[in-house]
C-alpha cells in the first residue's frame, strides 16, 4: 500500500514493479494519490494565484499537474503496465474544513509539503502579497469564516497473478 507518495517518487514505475515483485500471488497492491486538477481545491487555488504572481510557482504547479499519476486512470494505467489484474480506481471525496482564512493559511506555514517549501522561501514582502491575494480568493466577497473545500483522492488497487493464475 502506498498513500500519497507515488507522485513524488522520481521513478514510481520502478517502485510499482518492486511492489508487484514482493507481493505473493493473489495479493492486492493499492495506492492513493490526490487528483490534483480535478479535486484538490484548497491547494490548487493557492497554486493558481501564486502562478499568476511568480513564474517559479507556475513551474512547480505545472510539474505537479503534468505528472501522469495525478490524473484519472493514471495509477490504474501504471498498475496495468506492471502486470496487475482486475485493476480498479475509484475517487474518494474528502472535505477539508477551515474555521477561517487564518486556519486555511496556517496549513501553508505548518512545515511540510511543496507549498510550505515555496511559501517559506519567499521574501516577507512577497509572502505577504501572496497571502493577501489568496485571502481575496478564500473570502470570495464574503465575511471571513468557515469554508469547506472538497479534495479527491484516487484510490487504486490490483491483484498479483502468479504463473498458475494466468488466464493464458
Return the domain boundaries, the chain: 2-165
Q: Is the dihedral of CA 66, 72, 74, 75 positive or negative?
A: positive
The rounded distance, in Å, linking the Cα atoms of 122 and 145 is 26
What are the grid coordinates assigned to 38, written together?
480535478
Q: What is the mean pLDDT of residues 3-11?
A: 90
pLDDT in tens, 21-74: 999 999 999 999 999 877 788 899 999 999 999 999 999 999 999 999 998 899
Q: What is the mean pLDDT of residues 70-83?
A: 94
- What is the structure's pLDDT at 111? 74
Is 34 exposed, middle or buried (CB count within 10 Å of its CB: 0-12, 13-18, 19+)?
A: buried
Architecture of domain 2-165: 3-Layer(aba) Sandwich (3.40)
Please report the pLDDT score of residue 164 as a whole number: 47
Amino acid at each position: 500500500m502506498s498513500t500519497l507518495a507515488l507522485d513524488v517518487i522520481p521513478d514510481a514505475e520502478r517502485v510499482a514493479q518492486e511492489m508487484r515483485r514482493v507481493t505473493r500471488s493473489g495479493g492486492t497492491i493499492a495506492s492513493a494519490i490526490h487528483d490534483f486538477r480535478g479535486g484538490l481545491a484548497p491547494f490548487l487555488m493557492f497554486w493558481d494565484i501564486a502562478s499568476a504572481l511568480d513564474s517559479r510557482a507556475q513551474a512547480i504547479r505545472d510539474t505537479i499537474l503534468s505528472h501522469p499519476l495525478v490524473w484519472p486512470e493514471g495509477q490504474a494505467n501504471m498498475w496495468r503496465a506492471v502486470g496487475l489484474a482486475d485493476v480498479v480506481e475509484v475517487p474518494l471525496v474528502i472535505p477539508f474544513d477551515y474555521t477561517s482564512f487564518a486556519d486555511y493559511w496556517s496549513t501553508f506555514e505548518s512545515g511540510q509539503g511543496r507549498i510550505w517549501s515555496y511559501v517559506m522561501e519567499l521574501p516577507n514582502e512577497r509572502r505577504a502579497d501572496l497571502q493577501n491575494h489568496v485571502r481575496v480568493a478564500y473570502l470570495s466577497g464574503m465575511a471571513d469564516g468557515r469554508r469547506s473545500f472538497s479534495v479527491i483522492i484516487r484510490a487504486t488497487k490490483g491483484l498479483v497473478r502468479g504463473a498458475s493464475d494466468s488466464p493464458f
